[in-house]
Each structure stands twice: as C-alpha cells, then as structure tokens.
Chains A and B, each alone.
Chain A
Amino acid sequence: MIEIKDLSKNYGDFHLNISLRIEEGRVTGLVGRNGAGKSTAIKSILGLIKPDGGSVTVMGKDSARLTAADKENFGVAFSDSGFSTYLTIRDVVLILENMYKDFDKAAFLDACKKCRLPEDKRLKDFSTGMKARLRVLIACSHRAKLLILDEPTAGLDVVARNEVLDMLRNYLAEDPGRSMLISSHISSDLEGLCDDIYMIHNGKIVLHEETDVIVSEYALLKLTPALYETIDKKYLLVTRKEPFGYSCLTNQRRYYAENYPNVVMEAGNVDDLIIMLSKEE
C-alpha cells in the first residue's frame, strides 16, 4: 500500500532518513516523541512536501504524481489542520458531496448525530474533542481504502481518545481490505489498534516490530547493580543507568523470566520502548 525507500528530508539541523512499508489490510503505527519526524513522514506520503532523496510510493504510484482520483482512496486527518473553523457541518457535507464520488451523506450525518456534533454550529465553537471526532469522521466518510492519520488523538482526554479509537476500529472492521497508517506520541493508543509499529526518533526508524511481539516478548528489567553484573547481557537491547541500578530493555522476556526468576520485570509496552529508545544520553 505504502512503500518509503530511503526517504530523506532536511530542515536545518533536522535530518529525516527513513524506510518503511505498510501492507494492504494492515494497521501500522508510527510512534515517536514530538519533533521526531512523524508528520514529515506522513506529509511526504501525501506528496505535501518534496523529498530531498529516496522514493515514496502509494498504491503503486509516486506520491508526487498522485492525482485527484488517487486521493479519493485516502482518508486523511491531521491534528492541526482541517476545514476552516468558520464552516459548519452542513457546509462540510456540501463540500464533501462535491469532492468525493463515494461520500456517504446519510452515514456521515448519522455518525455526527451519534457523536453529538451539531450541524449548524461553526467548527470554531466545537470543543477539542468534537473537532477531533469530526476530523476522523471526515476521513472515514467516503469508503477510503487507506486512512492516513497524523496524531488524531492529540490533546484529547482519555474518554475522547477512546471514542476516536473506537470509531477507527469500527471503520476498519467494516472491510478487511482497508489499511491505516496512524501516528501518535501516545503509544498506548496504538497497542490495541495496530498490527505493527514503527518507532521513529531523531528522523530515523529505531524499531519496527509486530505489536503482539512487543506485548508478549519485550520487557523492562529493573536490576540492582549487583544483579546487573551477573546477568547475561546477550538479549539486552538498551541499558539505562537509574538511581536504583539499571533499567534494561529486552525482547527475550521468557529467557530472563526462566533463568532469573528474582529479576523485577515489567511486561513490554510501547511507552517503555519510547522511553528507552529515545532518551537522550
């Protein structure tokens, strides 16, 4: 569905250099801290920025050559960009009707009603959560085969975040052929949604793993200095010095659980990966 090969983009001191692949029917997460390069990667997929090198192919086509017809297959949502907030949902319906051949007006209005989004109120009077829900509803309004969502849950409380994620789950469940690339710095959002996760840090992909593997095989070991000296370090991916001793990230949880039963171990989660892999030291 999407293939990025050695994409490079430079903004002053920031250098993006990544490769990634999103398969059809898969949900891929792109996690990383603010400013890691997630939005730049997403904008390059949509052809909104011009790469300095490498290639970006979307549905078999160079992203710089995407036509209006190609873009009908995408559903896009940004956290900081959307329709003018001087418009109302009624206006948005009119625009989408004239923009997408497959726009499902009845379903869209029904979804807006369920989300308690008023039709005749200007978007600038919507709360952050309402705006976020609307952006996702717009992305899902025209049977897009590929959803590309840049931080759709940014700035939302936990309830609003779950509502947005549920909307996305429902959309994906309707057709197994649908794919999605979603970026977030709130990694717990992605654990229950994504098939695989790319982690980006300082413009580089530092990890690509299946979500199931992260949850079942990765772990964070909390070691005292004495234990750290004796432990087998073969499967320790990252080690950080802590006040109590050492925090170590491993992708062989069972090995340490079986051989070092006294080790304090936290089950793997994406937040730990971000903390361990992106801490500046």
Chain B
Amino acid sequence: MKGLLVKDFCLLRQRIKFFILLFLLTIFMTFSMDSASFAVGWVSMLMAILSLSTLSYDEYDNCMPFLMSLPASPRDYALEKYCFSFLCGLAGWIVAVVMMLLTLIVQGKTGVLVEELLGSFMIIPVALILPACCIPVELKWGAEKGRMYLLVVYGIFFALLGIAYRFLPKMSGTFFAKLDAAVKPQTVLILLIILAVLITAVSVMISFRIVDKKEY
C-alpha cells in the first residue's frame, strides 16, 4: 500500500500550480473573513476531495489492470484511497491552521485564538466524512460518472435543505438556538469524530465489497 500512496502523491504533484493558488486564496480568506476557521474548513475539504482526482488519473490511462497486478490487492487499493484523502485533508488542515493562527496574531486578534482553533478541529472529522461518501461511488461507477451521480445526490440534498429552511424557519431557528445553548463545542467535536469513524467504517466495507466483485 505504501507504493500506491507514493504513486498518488506523485500524481497529485501534477497540480502544484493549483496548490499555490489555493495557498494564496487561503491567506486572502483568512484576512478578509470574520470567521478565520472557515478558510481552514474550505482548504481541508478541498484537499480531501482533490485527492480523489488520482482515481481519474488511474482510469485515464487504463492503469487499473497493471496496478492490480502489482503487490497490492484491490482492497489495498480501496483502503489506500481513504488513507490518501485523509492525509491530504490533514495536510491542508495543518497548513491552513498555521496560516490562520499567524494571521490572527498579526491582526492582534489573540482573544479569539482558542475559539477559532476549536472550530478548526471540528473540520477534521467533516473532511473525513466527505471522501468517505465519494470513494465507494467513484469505485463503483468510475471517477467521472461517479462524480456526476454525487452532484445529483448533493443537489437533491441541498434542495431538501432549502425546502426545510423555507417551511420550518421558526421551528428550526428555535431548535438550533436551544441546541447551541445546550451542547458544548467539545461534545459536538466528540460526536462528530464518532460519526466520521462510523461513516468511514461503513464506507470502507462498501468499497471492499465493490472492489471484490470488480474485474479489471
């Protein structure tokens, strides 16, 4: 699996110009936005999702038969995609957090450091959940087709969210206000971590079943 990880890091290096742009954009966002931790979330999730573009690279040159004949099983291949997206998300998170802290110190906003840092920690499990939802779909239907299906699913999800927001404004407002007051951020973080681990475990099992049945 180590070899597959190295392969994906080499492939991701192709996007170096994009990373520089992302880096500059993060600096801009941390300076210009009220919530500095928003930039951390944005970068981490983008990095985790971007890591999945290596699936497209593998498909593009019909690499799969050859990759599956290397000393790695199809399950290793699937598992590696989870590890790789997590590592990418984590790398993006670390860089963004360091930049956020430096920006806040430069701006003299040292009072909100702890609050923003805590908010940033909540991003890690979310950055884990996002690829966990994408990987099985892309393994099943291929990177391009899988991404199309995901767009449709996300579209439906946000449409439902919009309908709920329109029809239940008072109820949801009261509910979230009460929830916000009752639950401590630390509890939310722990709940998010448990949820991320559960979703990832289920996602890995689904991916294993998909690659076990697949022919190359």
Q: Is the CB of A94 within 8 A of B6?
A: yes
Question: Given that A67-B73, A71-B71, A100-B71 are contacting pairs, would A83 and B216 also be in contact in the complex, using a CB cutoff of 8 Å?
Answer: no
**A85 proximal to B (CB < 8 A):** yes
Closest 7 CB pairs of A and B: A99-B3, A91-B10, A68-B71, A76-B69, A81-B66, A98-B3, A48-B216
Chain A interface (Cβ < 8 Å from any Cβ of B): 43, 46, 48-50, 67-69, 71-72, 74, 76, 78, 80-87, 91, 94-100, 148
Chain A interface: which of B29-37, B55-63, B191-199?
B55-63
* Residues of chain B lying within 8 A (CB to CB) of residue A80: 62
Within 58-102 of B, Cβ neighbours of A (below 8 Å) are at 58, 60-66, 68-73, 76
Complex CA gap A33/B198 in Å reads 51
* Residues of chain B lying within 8 A (CB to CB) of residue A68: 71-73, 76
Q: Is the CB of B11 within 8 A of A87?
A: yes
* Residues of chain A lying within 8 A (CB to CB) of residue B107: none
User: A50-B215, A91-B10, A96-B3 are known contacts; what are 6 more A-B pairs with Cβ within 8 Å?
Assistant: A80-B62, A84-B11, A86-B11, A86-B14, A94-B6, A95-B6
Q: Is the CB of B69 within 8 A of A48?
A: yes
Pick from A46, A72, A84, A98: contact of B57, CB below 8 A.
A84
**B209 proximal to A (CB < 8 A):** no
Q: Is the CB of B71 within 8 A of A82?
A: no
Complex CA gap A85/B58 in Å reads 10
Complex CA gap A76/B66 in Å reads 7
**B7 proximal to A (CB < 8 A):** yes
**Closest partner residue, chain A, to B76 (CB atom):** A68
Complex CA gap A94/B4 in Å reads 10
Complex CA gap A30/B97 in Å reads 58
* Residues of chain B lying within 8 A (CB to CB) of residue A50: 215
Please report whether the interface of chain B is mostly helix, strand, loop or mixed according to DSSP. Answer: helix
Question: Given that A68-B72, A94-B6 are contacting pairs, would A84 and B65 also be in contact in the complex, using a CB cutoff of 8 Å?
Answer: no
Q: What is the CB-to-nearest-CB distance from B18 to chain A, in angstroms, rounded to a whole number?
A: 14
Q: Is the CB of B2 within 8 A of A78?
A: no
Q: Is the CB of A95 within 8 A of B58?
A: no
* Residues of chain B lying within 8 A (CB to CB) of residue A91: 7, 10
Q: What is the CB-to-nearest-CB distance from B70 to chain A, in angstroms, rounded to a whole number?
A: 6
* Residues of chain A lying within 8 A (CB to CB) of residue B76: 68
* Subset of 13 A-B contacts with CB under 8 Å: A43-B215, A46-B65, A46-B69, A48-B69, A68-B71, A68-B76, A76-B69, A81-B66, A84-B61, A85-B61, A87-B11, A91-B10, A99-B4
Q: What is the CB-to-nearest-CB distance from B105 to chain A, in angstroms, rounded to a whole number?
A: 37
Q: Is the CB of A74 within 8 A of B69?
A: yes
Q: Is the CB of B60 within 8 A of A84?
A: yes
